[in-house]
Structure 1
Amino acid sequence: MTAVRPATLLGIAAEAALAVPGVAGLHPRLSRRLAAAASPTRTDVAHRASPEAGIRAGRAPDRPGWHIEVRCVLAEGRRALDVARNVHDRVGAAVLSHLAALDAVEPVTVEVAVTRIATGQDVA
């Protein structure tokens, strides 16, 4: 059995979430946005958050397994519930598939939060 790295799960979850039709981007948590804003070496490239900034992955605090939190920005004209369910299912399946490939299958809970709806050129 290979060790599971949370950083790898972040990338897998971000890729799966961004592949869902209706997801305009992933939204970083407030703490990440504040840290980026306070950075003295902020440039246009550094200002844009990586997709993984909208994902948290860690051990479930109250039970065995992993807990993945996804914060999505939706495209205009999409039903939030439908997109959130699709993100939930795809992220869960992608993470479980990765864990199975490592022979490290454990329970995975996925929590999806829709933070806003992007309009026009507006993106995460």
Structure 2
Amino acid sequence: MAATGTPPPLGVAAAAALAVPGVAGLQPRLAHRLAAAASPAWPETAAQHAPEAGVRIDRVPDGSGWHIEVRCVLTEGHRVVDTARDVHDQVRAAVLSYLAAHDAPVAVTVTVTVTVTRIAARDHTV
């Protein structure tokens, strides 16, 4: 598959970011939040959004690669700079692997924005 025909790896980027310790979730961009607010079913679905809503992927204008923006919400007890670096590295590696599997080796740049910190970690014990 050619690089121009490869679908943007939104799910791959979102899954990689969410797998990093200290990431509580991904923050939807303003456009997603405004669309949800305008929806007639907004109260029922406000807390439910796809993780991909916190990831934006755009082609570089010359078509030579992808630019990925990830907006993270972090849990308490993790250093922001370390977690952001881990998200950057994991997302970049996952997307490069995805693109290589689709015969679309292109450049990838990743920007990580931390929108909220000090969210209490959830207890996952049953």
Q: TM-score, normalised by structure 1?
A: 0.88
Alignment partner of 1:77: what SS? coil
Structure 2: distance between partners of 1:62 and 1:21: 35
Q: Equivalents in 1 of 2:74, 2:116: separation in Å?
A: 6
Of stretches 108-117 and 33-42 in structure 1, the one that deviates more from structure 2 is: 33-42
**Partners of 2:61 and 2:71 in 1: CA distance:** 19
Residue 5 (str. 1) matches residue 22 (str. 2) = no
Residue identity over aligned pairs, in percent, reads 61
Query: Could you tell me which residue of structure 2 aligns to residue 71 of structure 1?
Result: 71
Counterpart in the other structure of 1:31? 31
Decide whether aligned partners of structure 1 residues 121 and 97 sit closer, same or farther in structure 2, where only a CA change above 3 A counts.
closer
User: 1:10-67 deviations in whole A, cap 9, x for unaligned?
Assistant: 10000000000000000001121111011112243x2221100000011023672001
Whole-Å Cα distance in 2 between the matches of residues 21 and 62 of structure 1?
35
Which ranges of 4 or more aligned residues in structure 1 deviate by more than 3 Å? none
The runs of 5 or more residues in structure 2 that have no matched partner are: none
* Cα distance in structure 2, aligned partners of 1:93 and 1:29: 23
1:102 Cα deviation after fit: 0.8
- Structure 1 counterpart of 2:105: 105
Shift of 1:118: 4.3
Q: Which amino acid aligns with 1:5?
A: P
Q: Measure how far apart 1:120 and its partner are.
A: 2.7
- C-alpha distance in 2 between matches for 1:87 and 1:63: 24
CA 1:80/1:62 → structure 2, altered by over 3 Å: closer, same or farther? farther
- What code does the residue aligned with 2:116 have? R
The CA RMSD over aligned residues, in Å, is 1.7
1:17-28 equivalent positions in 2, closer than 5 A: 17-28=17-28
Distance in 2 of aligned mates of 1:67 and 1:119: 28
SS at match of 2:103: coil
